[in-house]
Structure 1
């Protein structure tokens, strides 16, 4: 991802969330936990969908939401969340029409790591990628 200029060479994430949505599933309005530092990188696969943003997202019906900002997420796209979009506004994925997978990479703030967590030694040896 660094080689393709998707992620900056200085970005080594230490957390990943994989969302697998079947037809009719949604991701409800939320703000990612503040223990994660921004930016977040979300990759979209299998089908397109939209993401909504708003400080308060209206729930219209199960899986249907209303927000003031709607951004399309085409297949293969990368959404970079930072600033208000990551820290203040809620975001959600309304009910999807087709199976969809998203992979979100985060970095947890080092001082917020769970007590006693033993990092994977192979991951600890990773260095920034030199371009």
Structure 2
């Protein structure tokens, strides 16, 4: 259970690091993410315009949550970052999960059920890819 929680926090943290690593990169990554979603979800232009600020706000919220827990994505240095206790990791995971749930709730108001199912599939693919990446780094 503890290892699973740690892996979830690590996956969420690294996903967030990838999405919001720096201002310019964040913009490019969000643009890339939106382009991917537009293609895979067959979004209309109106849907694309509606979800863009939601995803940008979500990325910024995750960045602030991480910063609050001592993880600064603007100056990310894995060697010098604060080591979180188990309780702090659980709190971080809980806050990131709440942020993700809020984002999904907002997207559910815009996307069809079919699009939302595909969105969840994309999120799972990203988690799986990250887990595989972390597994390979550990070897």
- Would you call these one fold, judging by a TM-score over 0.5? no
Which has the greater radius of gyration?
Answer: 1
TM-score by length of 2: 0.27
Higher helix share: 2
Considering fraction of residues, name the structure with more strand: 1
Q: TM-score, normalised by structure 1?
A: 0.28
